Amino acid sequence: MGGGGGLGLCLTLLVVIYSLPALVESACGSNAVVFNFGDSNSDTGGFVAGLGSPISLPEGRVFFHRPTGRYCDGRLILDFLCESLKTNYLSPYLESLGSDFRNGANFAIAGSTTLPPNVPFSLHIQVNQFLRFKSRSLELNARGPINEEGFRKALYAIDIGQNDLSAFFDANLPYDQVIQKIPIVISEIKTAIKTLYDNGGKNFWIHNTGPLGCLPVKLSLWKDNSSLDQYGCLMPFNNAAKEFNAQLGALCDELRSELKDATIVYTDIFTIKYDIIANHTTYGFESSLMACCGYGGPPYNFNLNITCGNPACPVCPEGSKYVSWDGVHYAEAANAIVASKILTTEYSKPKVRFDYFCIA
């Protein structure tokens, strides 16, 4: 173990990963209904199903032991949260075979943004897909996977915005122009929440965006070391993420006052993930800023031309402790820790349990 982590830290990390569902006793089970909207951070196979894109090992090598359409070596944060409810993992809305929608559906698609709103698979399109899903379910009456009460009591989870910020920076916009564009992204999220509310949604779980400047995909392309913070992350990217999160938090406060009968929980994913980066050895990780599945070696092991899944791209041995799986997405071990911290309620406003929506 690097950084003096030792066997004790390894065992601690394994306990977090494999006993996560026991951290919170849930009253949900088969009664839980969750609808999720977002990007690759919570995509359980929608992109692969929708575009027919092939995906192969080493994706999914941990836990599932096969590719599942997740851009991860195993489970996502969303998967661990579903485990805490003692319910099934969410099936992708676009997966035509083998899906079970009795406990909800996942509309998240890798690469999704809020802007432009009418391009697949933007947040606006995902919400439209949900509206069709609801309409068809109710039309089918008893044969539909979810009834009216199920839709009313369901949790509506949203985790999006990272790709919007990334696209602004990729377009070489100056920092101040990136900041100027954030309000229109927030406006799209507001529209999505209000549309879901107007269609019966009352329970919302909103994740803010993570530390974009700590991703190997960004760090590998940046040449100005003066822009790095003490942990090696890009300050302009992270500052933009913080501003996005401040405005998203303010939106949740606004909607909490406006939508009196709704519960809107804002969860600080940035702080959780940045703490893991800053204190990675404490959590038992060997590397915080280098991809496990990547090409090019230290310090970031990421090359845009040879990414994870390319036959020429090597992968770290199973059991290695990397925060980053492929330079863009977190590894299952890191996702487990993020989920465990979410379940403490210490990073949420208001501090309600994740299963609050299905407790009678």
What residues act catalytically? Answer: 40, 326, 329
Contact of 308 with 293, CB cutoff 8 Å:
yes
Which residue bears the tokens 């501003």?
A: 243
Cα torsion angle, 81, 86, 91, 93, sign: negative
Contact of 349 with 252, CB cutoff 8 Å:
yes
User: Beta-carbon neighbour count of residue 71 at 10 Å?
Assistant: 25
Q: Helices marked H in 267-347 — which ranges?
A: 269-278, 332-342
The token pair at 5 is 């982590």
User: Amino acid identity, residue 356?
Assistant: Y
Tell me whether residue 262 is exposed, middle or buried, using C-beta atoms within 10 angstroms of its C-beta: 0 to 12, 13 to 18, 19 or more.
middle
Q: Exposed e or buried b for every residue in 121-136, given b needs 16+ CB within 10 A?
A: bbbbbbbebbeebbee
Contact of 99 with 52, CB cutoff 8 Å:
no
The length of the chain in residues reads: 360
